[in-house]
Amino acid sequence: MCDTIVALGNSTANGAVLFAKNSDREPNEAHEILFVPAARHVLGDQIKCTYITIPQVEETYAVLLAKPFWIWGAEMGTNEHGVTIGNEAVFTKVGYDKKPGLIGMDFIRLSLERSRTAESALQTLIQLLEVYGQGGNCGFAHKLYYHNSYIVADPEQAWVLETAGRHWAAQKVRDVRSISNILTIDDDWDMASADLISYAEDKGWHKKREKFSFSRCYSDILYSKFADGRRRHAYTMESLQTYKGALTVRHMMRFLRSHGKADSPAYQIDKGLTGSKVCMHASFGPVRGSQTVGSMVSELQPDGLCTHWVTGTAAPCTGVFKPLWLDALPDFGKAPTGVYDQASLYWQHEMLHREVLRTYDTRLASYSDERDQLEEKFIRETEAIVGADTHRRQEHANRCLAESRQATDGWIDLARKVPPEKAKGLYALAWRQFNQRASLEIR
C-alpha cells in the first residue's frame, strides 16, 4: 500500500511544485536508488522490462528511480526534465491479467525515459496501457495482482491517472491532490477512455439513468476497504489543505512520516492486523504484510534545479531524507537484494529500524531529536547551495549521505541501550519470520 501527494506552485511557499511518495512493499523487498543515463538507440532495438520485451524508442532521457530491487521499473522517479511520477495499487472489478506483461512500475520508468513534460508522460502512460494492457505478478515473496493509479508532475503542472484494466480516467490537478489505494475520480475527469461508461453499463455496474461515477462503478469494495486507502487519502488531503499556500519540503516529509492525526490515540505499532498509516509498518499478513520501504520528496522549480530528497531506506519515521540532484548524485554504494548486507544503504538502516521496532516509542526517542537536527541541517545547507555548480552540489550530496550513514551506526548503539520489550503474539511471529528470511540477526 502507498500514498502519493502533490502541490502545485499556487499552493507552496516558494512557487515550486512539490511531490512526495511513500513506497510500501514487503519488509525484505529492499529499496534501491538507481540512476540511468540518457541514451540514443538504434531503430529496431528492444527493451526488456520486468517480464516482457517491447520496442525501444530512438532517445531516452536520464532518470532517477526509487524501486524494488528486483523490478525493472520503479515505484517513483524523476527525469532530467523534472517529470516526476509515483504510482498506487488500486483494486477494481475488472479482472487482473496474471500473464507476464507490463506492470505499473514499468509504466513509470518507460514514461520517464520518453517524456519531456507531465502531459506528454500522461499520454505515454495511456498509449502504453491501451496497447499492452497491464498484467503480471507485482509481489516479491507473495504473489499480488492489481491495477494502478498515478500522479504525474513536472515543474508547471500535475495530473492524476487512474486505471482499471485498459480503462482509465485522468484529472488535471488544480492546486493540491493525493492518491492512495482507492479510485478517487468520480465524474469530474478531464479525459477518459472512450468506453469507460459503456463498459460499466455492459457489466451492469452502471444504470443509464444514474449519475456515473468511475470510482463507484469500477472499485472492488472488499479489497479497497482492507487496503484502507480511503482513510489515508482523507488524511493527506486534509493535511495539504491545512497548509495550502505555505507548503514546503518539510511539510511533505512530515506527512510521509505520519501515523495519523495529531489528536488521534497514540499509535501502537504492534497492535492490529488490519489498518494502515501513511508511514506503514508491517505485522502479520496478509493485510499488514507490507511496510514503507522507501520515501521521496521532490521540489520541482520552474526556473531552476529540481532538488530531490530520498531516504533509500524503510520507515521514514526512523530514518533521514538525503538531498540529491540528477547532475549531482551521491554514491549509494552496493545495490541491495532481499538478504541482509551491511554494505547496502537499505540494510544498514534496516538494522536500526528493526532494533527500534522491539521497543518503538522509547528506542525511537533515544535518537529522534538528533535525527531531526541532522535533517534540518541538511535542508538549510541545501537551500544555501541550490544555485551552486555541479561539483559543489555533488560534494554536498555525498557529505549528507556519509553523515547520515555514520549517524545511523550511532543510532543503532543508542537504540540498543534501551532495554527491549519482549514482543508477543502474531506481531512477534511475523518479524521473526521476516528476519529469518533476510538472514538478519537482531541481538
Which residues belong to the active site?
2
- Rounded Cα–Cα distance for residues 232 and 43 (Å): 45
Tell whether the torsion through CA atoms of 266, 272, 276 and 282 is positive or negative.
positive
Strands 46-48 and 17-25: unpaired
Q: How many other CB atoms sit within 10 Å of the CB of residue 412?
A: 20
Q: How many other CB atoms sit within 10 Å of the CB of residue 35?
A: 13
> Which cell is 231 given?
482513510
- Rounded Cα–Cα distance for residues 150 and 274 (Å): 24
Q: How many other CB atoms sit within 10 Å of the CB of residue 325?
A: 18
**Residues whose CB is less than 8 angstroms from the CB of residue 280 and which lie 6 or more positions away in sequence, other chains included:** 1, 22, 24, 290, 291, 292
Contact indicator for 311, 320 with CB cutoff of 8 Å: yes
In the block, cell 498484467 appears at 135
The residues that bridge with 148 in the sheet, in sequence order, are: 89
